[in-house]
């Protein structure tokens, strides 16, 4: 099992990093060499530090191992090559078109809740439907206090207190986070997992089927006069060309009963 201790240190070599990703993807050295059209001997020299990989070879390795842009750039930097694409801050002027497109998608989902997160689940954008939902469940200041959706959910004063069937929902979310941390070898996700797992540790176990086998996550909140019932869906941007865009996701909540849909429609009409 991959843990945060399996991540290469800041001083780790290119070969160590490639070997870690190869093992994480369960690809042999021979198979990777065949995939990138080079000899196993040359790849072995790269992994042992006897040969310095060219920029093109690193890109081929990264593509074959399905490495995110963030990690491709890290490999290129370690080898002394120029980056494949410079990472862009979310608020950069060149990201304006992306932000506008995301805002249109959020607006289209009104009055229902939707928000945009980066790869570490930091909330980058949200619509008024999501702001109303969180405020009604945890208070108006929650989104100022917690800008990360996992911390907003798992913290002692967070959404977990209002989620029906929290033990199973929390376990589902932790399993998803751990899986993503392992797949992407992302130290930020491992750290977030450790924090949330610590907060979740005292939650009682339940002898009920896991939610992991369901196609979407059912989510119910305690709410008066009637519980709020949703399913959650995640949308990613197609053919991303840089790390910032690749890491963005839209999480939208869709009512799974008429009472929830009606409540949000009425609430929006009063604004």
Over residues 14-39, the pLDDT tens digits come to 898 899 899 989 999 999 999 999 99
Residue reference for tokens 């989620």: 163
**Which of the following CATH numbers is that of domain 93-269: 3.30.70.1400, 3.30.450.180, 3.20.20.140, 2.30.110.10?**
3.30.450.180
Please name the CATH architecture into which domain 4-78 falls: Orthogonal Bundle (1.10)
CA triplet 229, 134, 168: central angle to 5 degrees? 50
In the chain, residues under CATH classification 1.10.260.40 are 4-78
Cα separation, 135 vs 56, in Å, equals 50
Sheet containing strand 163-164, strands side by side: 123-126, 114-117, 249-255, 228-236, 217-221, 163-164
pLDDT at 6: 42
Look over the chain and give the mean of its residue pLDDT values, rounded to a whole number.
87
Cα separation, 34 vs 40, in Å, equals 8
Task: Indicate the pTM of the whole model.
Answer: 0.77
Cα separation, 170 vs 95, in Å, equals 33
Phi, psi of 123 (to 5 degrees): -75, 115
In the chain, residues under CATH classification 3.30.450.180 are 93-269
pLDDT at 243: 66
Residues in the chain where the model's pLDDT stays below 50: 1-11, 270-271
Give CA torsion, residues 196, 20, 245, 130, to 10 deg: -10
């Amino acid at each position: 099992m991959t843990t945060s201790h399996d991540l290469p240190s800041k001083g780790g070599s290119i070969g160590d990093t490639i070997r870690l990703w190869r093992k994480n993807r369960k690809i042999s050295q021979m198979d990777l060499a065949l995939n990138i059209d080079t000899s196993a001997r040359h790849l072995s020299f790269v992994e042992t530090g006897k040969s310095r990989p060219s920029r093109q070879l690193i890109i081929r390795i990264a593509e074959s191992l399905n490495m995110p842009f963030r990690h491709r750039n890290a490999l290129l930097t370690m080898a002394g090559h120029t980056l494949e694409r410079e990472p862009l801050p979310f608020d950069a002027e060149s990201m304006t078109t992306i932000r506008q497109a995301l805002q249109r998608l959020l607006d289209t989902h009104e009055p229902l809740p939707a928000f945009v997160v980066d790869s570490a689940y930091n909330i980058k954008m949200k619509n008024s439907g999501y702001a109303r939902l969180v405020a009604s469940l945890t208070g108006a200041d929650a989104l100022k206090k917690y800008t990360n959706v996992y911390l907003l959910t798992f913290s002692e004063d967070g959404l977990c207190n209002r989620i029906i069937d929290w033990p199973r929902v929390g376990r589902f979310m932790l399993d998803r986070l751990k899986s993503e941390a392992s797949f992407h070898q992302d130290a930020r996700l491992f750290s977030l997992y450790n924090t949330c797992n610590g907060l979740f540790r005292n939650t009682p176990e339940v002898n009920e089927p896991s939610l992991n086998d369901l196609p979407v996550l059912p989510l119910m909140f305690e709410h008066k006069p009637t519980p709020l019932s949703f399913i959650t869906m995640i949308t990613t941007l197609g053919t991303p060309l840089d790390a910032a865009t690749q890491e963005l996701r839209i999480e939208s909540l869709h009512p799974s009963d008429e009472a929830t849909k009606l409540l949000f429609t009425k609430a929006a009409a009063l604004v």
